[in-house]
Chain A
Amino acid sequence: MGSRFGVRKIVVTGALGAVVVALSLTQLGYIPWISGASLSVLQVPVIIGAVIEGPVVGILVGAIFGATSMVQAVINPAKGPIDVFFVNPFISVLPRLLIGLLAWLAFRLFRGRLRPAAAAAAGIVGSLTNTVFVLGALVLAGAIPASVAGAVLVANGLVEAGVAAILTAAIVAAWGGVEGRRGKARLADEES
Chain B
Amino acid sequence: MKDLEFFRNISIGQYSSGDSLLHRLTPATKYLWLFALSIPGAVGGISGVAMVLLLALCAGRGAGIRPAFLLRGVKPALPFFVLAAFLQFLFGWPGDHSAALFTLGPLSATAREAAAVGMAVARTVALMVLLGVFTSITSEGEIAHGVEDLLDPLARLGLPVHRLALVVSATFRFIPVIAGELESIVKAQASRGADFGTGKGGPFARARAYLPLIVPVTVRALERAEVLAEAMEARCYTGKDRTRWVVYPKVRGEDAIRALALVFCAAAFAVDALLR
B77-A171 in contact (CB<8A): no
B210 interface neighbour in A15, A25, A31, Cβ under 8 Å:
A31
Q: Is the CB of A44 within 8 A of B43?
A: no
Residues in B whose Cβ lies below 8 Å from that of A12:
222, 225, 229
Contact call A163/B171, Cβ cutoff below 8 A: no
Is the C-beta of B127 less than 8 angstroms from some C-beta in chain A?
Answer: yes
Query: With A142-B119, A143-B120 in contact, is A60–B88 under 8 Å at CB?
Result: no
Q: Which of A54-101 contact B (CB under 8 A)?
A: 60, 64, 70-71, 73-75, 77-78, 81-85, 87-90
Are A26 and B182 also in contact (CB < 8 A) when A12-B222, A77-B77, A167-B215 are?
Answer: yes
Are B120 and A85 neighbours in the complex by a CB distance under 8 Å? yes
In the complex, the answer to whether B131 meets A142 with C-beta atoms within 8 Å is: no
Write the chain A residue with the least CB distance to B222: A175
Task: Using A31-B210, A87-B127, A163-B207 as known contacts, say yes or no to A75 and B178 having CB atoms under 8 A apart.
Answer: no
User: Within 8 Å of chain A (Cβ to Cβ): is B28?
Assistant: no
Chain B, residue nearest A48 (CB): B218
Q: How large is the interface on A (under 10, 10 to 19, 20 to 34, 35 or more residues)?
A: 35 or more
A2: interface (CB < 8 Å) = yes
Does the CB pair B198–A32 fall under 8 Å? yes
Is A114's CB within 8 Å of the partner chain B? no
Given contacts A18-B178, A26-B7, A188-B233, contact A70 B131 (CB under 8 A): yes
- Interface hits, B117-168 → A, CB 8 Å: 117, 119-120, 123-124, 127-128, 131-132, 135, 158-160, 163-164, 166-168
- Number of residues from B at the complex interface, CB < 8 A: 85
Q: Are B215 and A170 in touch, CB under 8 angstroms?
A: yes
Known: A14-B225, A84-B77. A31 touches B131 (CB 8 A): no
Say whether A19 contacts B84, CB under 8 Å: no
A39 touches B84 (CB 8 A): no
Known contacts A41-B210, A74-B132; A175/B219 CB under 8 A: yes
Closest to B92 in A: A145
Docked pose: A96 CA to B158 CA in angstroms: 25
Find chain A residues with CB under 8 A from B207 CB: 31, 39, 41, 162-163, 166-167
Interface string of A95-134 (1 = CB under 8 A from B): 0000000000000000000000000000000000000000
Partner of B170, one of A15, A33, A188: A15
* A18 x B221 contact (CB < 8 A): yes
> CB-nearest residue of chain B relative to A82?
B80
Pair A171/B167 contact, Cβ less than 8 Å: no
Closest CB in chain B relative to A183 CB, distance in Å: 10
| B83: interface (CB < 8 Å) | yes
Contact A22 B13, beta carbon cutoff 8 Å: no
Q: Which residues of A contact B187 (CB under 8 A)?
A: none
Tell me, rounded to whole Å, the shortest Cβ–Cβ distance linking B36 to chain A. Answer: 13
Question: Which of A10, A28, A85 interacts with B182 by CB under 8 Å?
Answer: A28
Q: Is the CB of B128 within 8 A of A17?
A: no
Q: State in angstroms the CA–CA spacing of A28 and B167 once bound together.
A: 23
- Is there a chain B Cβ closer than 8 Å to A135's Cβ? no
7 contacts between A and B (CB under 8 A): A18-B175, A18-B177, A23-B217, A87-B127, A145-B87, A163-B203, A175-B219
Taking A10-B229, A11-B232, A31-B206 as given, write out 19 further A-B residue pairs in contact, using a Cβ cutoff of 8 Å, ordered by the A residue number.
A5-B163, A7-B233, A7-B237, A12-B229, A16-B222, A16-B225, A17-B174, A21-B175, A22-B10, A31-B207, A31-B210, A41-B214, A75-B135, A78-B76, A81-B83, A87-B124, A148-B87, A187-B234, A192-B240
